[in-house]
Every structure is written in C-alpha cells, then in structure tokens.
Amino acid sequence: MKKNATVITYGCQMNVNESAKIRKIMENLDYNMTEDIESTDVVFLNTCTVREGAATQIYGKLGDLKRVRDKRGTKIIITGCFAQEQGKKLLEKFPYIDIIMGNQNIGRIPEALDEIESNKKVKHVILTEYEEQLPPRIDADFDNKITASISIGYGCNNFCTYCIVPYVRGRERYVPMAEIVEQTKEFVKKGYKEIMLLAQNVNSYGRGLSKEETFANLLQNICDIDGDFIVRFVSPHPRDFTDDVIDVIAKNPKIARCLHIPLQSGSTRILKLMNRGYTKEQYLALIDKIKTRIPDIAITTDIIVGFPQETEEDFLDTLDVVRKSKYDTAFMFMYSIRQGTKAAEMDGHLSDDIKHERLQRLIALQTEISKEISETYAGRVERVLVEGPSKKNKDVLSSRTSTNKIVLFEGDKSLEGHFVDVKINECKTWTLYGELVQE
Ligand code: 5AD
Ligand code: SF4
C-alpha cells in the first residue's frame, strides 16, 4: 500500500510555490498526498518567520503532531524560513522532529528521508547549508490548475532593518531568463491562466546575470508568449521601480492592472531607520508616475506601524501617504521584533498598546478607501478570470478582475479557468457582485 504524505504551508507565495515542489517530490517517491494528518506517514511543516505570530502557530502545530507521531510513527519534517533560522535549536523543544531543512535544500528530501528510514542510528537530519545556491528546478503542478507561480529569484540584499528574510533566505540570486520563459510556456501550454512571478525583490531581477536579463525584458518576453493568460508579480521594491518596467506594463495588457508596492512607512525619518532607500516624497512621486502612465492601475501595499522610535507625527505621515496613494488594499502589520536584525537593537521600542491603537486607526482609514474604490466599479463591465465555486456559496462562481478584485456571479461550473465579462451590480468593500454578460 502507498504511504501518505501531507504538506502544511505557512507564510508567503514563495512558500506556497515551494510546497507545490515538495508535493511533487513526494509523488515521485510514490507517496499519496493527503490533507488528513491522522492518516499521514510523513508530514511537512513549511514555515515562515517574518513576524512573531508565525512561530507561535508553528509551536502549536508541532505539539499536535507529537500525538500523531506517537500513534503511527509519522515522520515530522520542518522546512522553510523558521526551520532555516532555528536549525538544530528546534530539537531542544521538539526532539521528535526528524528532519530540519531550509527550502534551498528541498531537492535533498529523498536522500534525507532515506537516511532517517534506513539507518536506525540517524536520529535527525539537519540541512541548513547551501544558502547561497539556486535550488534545483522542480516542475510542480499547482492545486487549482489556474494559477502557477515561478520563482525568478531567491534571497535579498536589502537588509531592511526590521526584516529577517536576508538572514534566512541568503543573498540575491536569479534564475536565467531563458529558463523562466521556457517554464512559463510550459505552464501556459498546460492550461494555466495566471502566471505569478516570485522573488523577494522582483525588480532587482537580473543582478549577476547578463545585461539583457532585466526585469523589463523578462516581462516583455513573457508577454510575447502566445495564449490568453495574465501575469502578476510580487514584490517589487519602490527604490528599484525603473521606468522601463513601467513602460512594459503600460503597453502589455497581459500584465495585471494591480501592483503591490510596499510602503512600510510614510515617514522619511522612519524609512531611513528602516534602511528602505527612499523618502516619503520619492515614494509618492513613484505612485504618481505609475498612475499617470497606467491610469487603470490598482495599487496595494504593505505597511508596518510602531517601528522603534515612531512618533505620532511619523504615523500621521503614514496616514497621509495612505490617503494620497489610495491603495486598493493594504497588508498592515504591527512591528514585530526579530532577533538578529538591526531594528531589534534600536532604542525606543513602542508598547503594544500604542502599536495596536495605530494599527486600528490605519485599518479604519484603509477600509474607507477600499470601500470608495470598490464603489467605482458599479455598472462597469469587467473581464474576469473564473477561479471556481465560491468558498461560502457553492452555487456562485468566484472570479478576479485584472485589478485583483473578487467578483461573485452566477454561472456554470464549466466557466472555471476561463476569462469572461461580468457586469458589476453591487459593490461591497471586499467583494463585487455581478452577472455574466452573454456573448
Ligand atoms: N514586523 C512587522 N512586519 C514585518 N514585515 C517584515 N518584517 C516585519 C517585522 N519585523 C512585513 C513587511 C513586509 C511583509 C512581508 O511583512 O511589511 O513587506
Ligand atoms: Fe525584507 Fe526588505 Fe528584503 Fe523585503 S526587501 S525581504 S522587507 S529585507
């Protein structure tokens, strides 16, 4: 009988992508993939460590898994950023973990499993080295058959002072352009309709490669591939958002009309402490330029409140930028201390109460803006990509606009994975409701 394996994913799109690769590796080893932890023989926790909350969740899950392991000898493998950061320290609290590995090493899963299973003397395998190498290419399939993601680069050289990523994902390294274009072609041929390009800093793409291998050229080459599909990418860095990239987006409708441009803070003083490399004015000028050249663009962002030394005045600058940028949505976080980063050593850490209070005010403002933007869709006809039945109501289809707005409408399940036109009748803050426009 086939053995079962399970992959549980935390964190960002990069982890979602790498979890798909882990599944592929396990299928190649003849495992059957299941989501049922009670009946699994090998379980992977693909972890995140970008904020404190992530670790707490993982500790809870590891506690849970001990019971399953005691019952049926399930092997426990911990991968991802938290595993890379903690390494063998994890064994002090959780001695029953079998394998600890950073995601640059997932290609070594077969040998690590073999070592644990065939050599009784081996209690644990720890693979946190090779942080500077490109992981091997593994062609995974993605669950929904609509969106495929491609890692175009790994690691980060920016060292924003709050961020643990450069310490757990190593230095920047990029995948050759020809390989990415080839992979995109294969995904489009397989029927995927949305291609998501991933890197910690997508618009530094090409550093260390040939002169032609720039992010703008990569986007253009991908758009030149025949077929009906949409391209998204996360995340660009505002400092590296060059004009050639804006031009390529402007002239290629295949590129989604939604850009994620992390602000982090609206205060020039705090941005400097964060080592972000731009001022409030430079950021606003970039947003202005993008909106002028690509008028139908939606912009989303990431914001941290309560960074060390942030005053009320600094925070008001953040609110000011939020008002002026008019984000469609924002991911908003309270600053969370990460040991080993520069910000952790700074003076002037703020209390949770202040961070909380600022976060609530920021969320209130952003919600108002999101609602306002949603309401502008009333009566419009939008081309959407149908993702499948809505999670809440199976009789309704869930789809997305190029600007990444969710649109629900009644329609046949056979439309899944197709682009269709929908007329928007009702606009709620986070969801639009419409009807299919018959061709
Ligand atoms: N505290 C709070 N938020 C953080 N982020 C990264 N590090 C921290 C931290 N220490 C946020 C940033 C980043 C997003 C992925 O997570 O906003 O863009
Ligand atoms: Fe972290 Fe800054 Fe690199 Fe993003 S750009 S991963 S926030 S260090």
Residue 53: its pLDDT value, please? 84
Q: Pick from 165, 169, 276 the residue to mutate for probing ligand 2's pocket: most ligand atoms within 8 Å of its CB.
A: 165
List, as one string, the DSSP characters of 34-94: -S-GGG-SEEEEEE--SSHHHHHHHHHHHHHHHHHHHHH--EEEEEEHHHHHHGGGHHHH-
Determine the angle formed by the axes of helices 109-118 and 13-28, rounding to 10 degrees.
60
CA of 257 to the centre of ligand 1 (A): 24
Q: Does domain 381-436 have CATH number 2.40.50.140?
A: yes
The four Cα atoms 315, 317, 319, 325 give a dihedral, to 10 degrees, of -150
Residue 411 Cβ contacting ligand 1 at under 6 Å: no
- Please determine, for residue 387, whether its predicted confidence score (pLDDT) is greater than 90: yes
153-154 and 173-174 beta bridge pairing: antiparallel
**pLDDT, average across residues 71-97:** 94
The closest ligand to the CA of 346 turns out to be 1
- Please determine, for residue 197, whether its predicted confidence score (pLDDT) is greater than 90: yes
Asked, as a colleague might, if the bond just before 235 is cis with ω within 30 of 0, I would say yes
Three-state DSSP state, 233: strand
On whether the CB atoms of residues 18 and 105 are closer than 8 A, the answer is no
Q: What is the token pair recorded at 112?
A: 């690590």
- Please determine, for residue 97, whether its predicted confidence score (pLDDT) is greater than 90: yes
Domains of the chain, residue spans: 4-127, 381-436
**pLDDT, average across residues 278-305:** 98
Residue 1: its pLDDT value, please? 86
Domain 4-127 class in CATH: alpha beta
Q: Pick from 48, 50, 201, 207 the residue to mutate for probing ligand 2's pocket: most ligand atoms within 8 Å of its CB.
A: 201
Q: What is the token pair recorded at 433?
A: 């409701």
Residue 415: its pLDDT value, please? 96
Residue 277 Cβ contacting ligand 2 at under 6 Å: no
CA of 268 to the centre of ligand 1 (A): 18
The closest ligand to the CA of 159 turns out to be 2
Ligand 2, atom 2: closest residue by C-alpha:
160
Residue 392: its pLDDT value, please? 87
CA of 216 to the centre of ligand 2 (A): 21
CA of 304 to the centre of ligand 1 (A): 6
Instruction: Give the type of residue at 126.
Output: I
The pLDDT confidence band at residue 352, using thresholds 50, 70 and 90, is: very high
- Please determine, for residue 130, whether its predicted confidence score (pLDDT) is greater than 80: no
Residue 438's CB is within 10 A of a number of other CB atoms, namely: 6
Residue 141: its pLDDT value, please? 83
Residue 153: its pLDDT value, please? 95
Residue 94: its pLDDT value, please? 94
Give the C-alpha separation, 276 to 161, whole Å: 8
**pLDDT, average across residues 377-400:** 94
Ligand 1, atom 18: closest residue by C-alpha:
302
The closest ligand to the CA of 333 turns out to be 1
List, as one string, the DSSP characters of 292-356: HHSTT-EEEEEEEE--TT--HHHHHHHHHHHHHHT-SEEEEEE----TTSTGGG-S-PPPHHHHH
Q: What is the token pair recorded at 353?
A: 């109460």
Residue 163 Cβ contacting ligand 2 at under 6 Å: yes
Residue 133: its pLDDT value, please? 80
Give the C-alpha separation, 250 to 236, whole Å: 16
Tens-place pLDDT, residues 169-196 = 889 999 999 999 999 999 999 999 999 9
CA of 28 to the centre of ligand 1 (A): 35
Q: Which atom of ligand 1 is nearest to the CA of 235?
A: 18
Residue 201 Cβ contacting ligand 2 at under 6 Å: yes
Residue 174 Cβ contacting ligand 1 at under 6 Å: no
CA of 429 to the centre of ligand 1 (A): 24
